[in-house]
Amino acid sequence: MEKGCVVMQARRWVALGLGVFILLISLITKFAFSSTDEAGGGLLDEYEKEVVRDGKMTGHIALLEVKGTILDTEETFFGGTTYDHKMFLNMLDDAMEDNDVKGILVSVDTPGGGVLESAEIHTAITKAQEQYDKPVYISMGNTTASGGYYLAASADKIFAYPQTITGSIGVIMSTMNVSGLLDELGIEEKVYKSGEHKDIMSPTRPATEADDDILQTIVDEYYEEFVRVVAEGRDFSVEQARSLSDGRIYTGKQAVEVGLVDELGSLDDTIEQMREDIGAYQVFAYNQTYGFGSLFGVKAPRIFNNNLDQQVLEGVFDDRYPRAFYLLHHPEVTR
């Protein structure tokens, strides 16, 4: 009996300690976010500049990175992704507004991502070129496809490795449909809706011809915008851009041959070419740092490895809302 009381007291102390810990974490997190909002820095994630090339001229070249699926997700420290969309846009904005930045180089390794996110980067790059008169070069890594190419299309120069996979110019919108399986299992979903198409892309009912027409119209609209971006960025006719935009992939070598890429070369080659073209400036890599906020609401991709298959599956097959992608079609998604 005495032993049981000791155990009960120990459990109470553990529960009390856990409660105090949660309360402290909550208060600290609230303070971190509020102090950052008021002071513009501090405990949340920021970025730092690292010199990766010395220079002989005043000013520098900003080296940024797009790595991972281009989605504006809200992941935590414990489930981080390899790409932070808001942080990248912030760094790009800072680079274009900084008078000391004489050029911007973006290293890209991505299968693509969301239509909106890809367009936001493309718009920002165009703004840097047109409003701030700053040249933008792209260095393609292992994969720079679909949305990755969308953001790269308007760059002043595009470099790729011979083995780079690029292209995949097109749009994809997918959903799973399990209505046949539910029928076999005798399961019926009751849906009460205000309009015929309110539950469009529902996985529990067959798509109608009208549904298909609506969704295909959206895909076609996004596709035409992609073709326009390629045509304008690469100085193609619309017909020439369309002929290269049937969703196929190209190696870096093939992309040079058809005009989608300017030159073959590594990231180092791209850096040296930019320095040769605009001046031997220092090159600063803009690297995200991970503060206290990474624990609770901000990504920490370099601490935990990203699962691309899981991220793509969660995005493409999220039936909470329809979503289109500029995304390299991933074999795992169709299994």
CA-nearest of 133, 202, 142, 203 to 328 is 142
Residue 3, pLDDT score:
56
Task: Report the alpha-carbon distance of residue 227 to residue 242 in Å, rounded.
Answer: 6
Supply angle C-alpha 85, 87, 91, rounded to 5. 120
**CA dist 118 → 85, 151, 248, 281 (Å):** 10, 6, 19, 29
Q: Catalytic: which of 107, 146, 245, 294? A: 146
Residue 3 annotated to the active site:
no
Report pTM.
0.78
Helices (H), ranges, 67-169: 85-97, 115-130, 147-152
Residue 37, pLDDT score:
42
- HSE value, Cβ hemisphere, 13 Å, CA-based, for 218: 15
The residue type found at 200 is: I
Residue 194 annotated to the active site:
no
The answer to whether the CB of 283 falls within 8 A of the CB of 271 is yes
Q: What is the pLDDT of residues 57-116, one digit of tens each?
A: 999 999 999 999 999 975 544 444 578 999 999 999 999 999 999 999 999 999 999 999
The answer to whether the CB of 153 falls within 8 A of the CB of 122 is yes
Q: All domains of the chain, ordered by start, with CATH?
A: 45-188+196-334 (3.90.226.10)
60's enclosing H/E stretch is strand 57-67
Task: Report the alpha-carbon distance of residue 16 to residue 31 in Å, rounded.
Answer: 23
Supply angle C-alpha 188, 318, 200, rounded to 5. 55
Residue 159, pLDDT score:
99
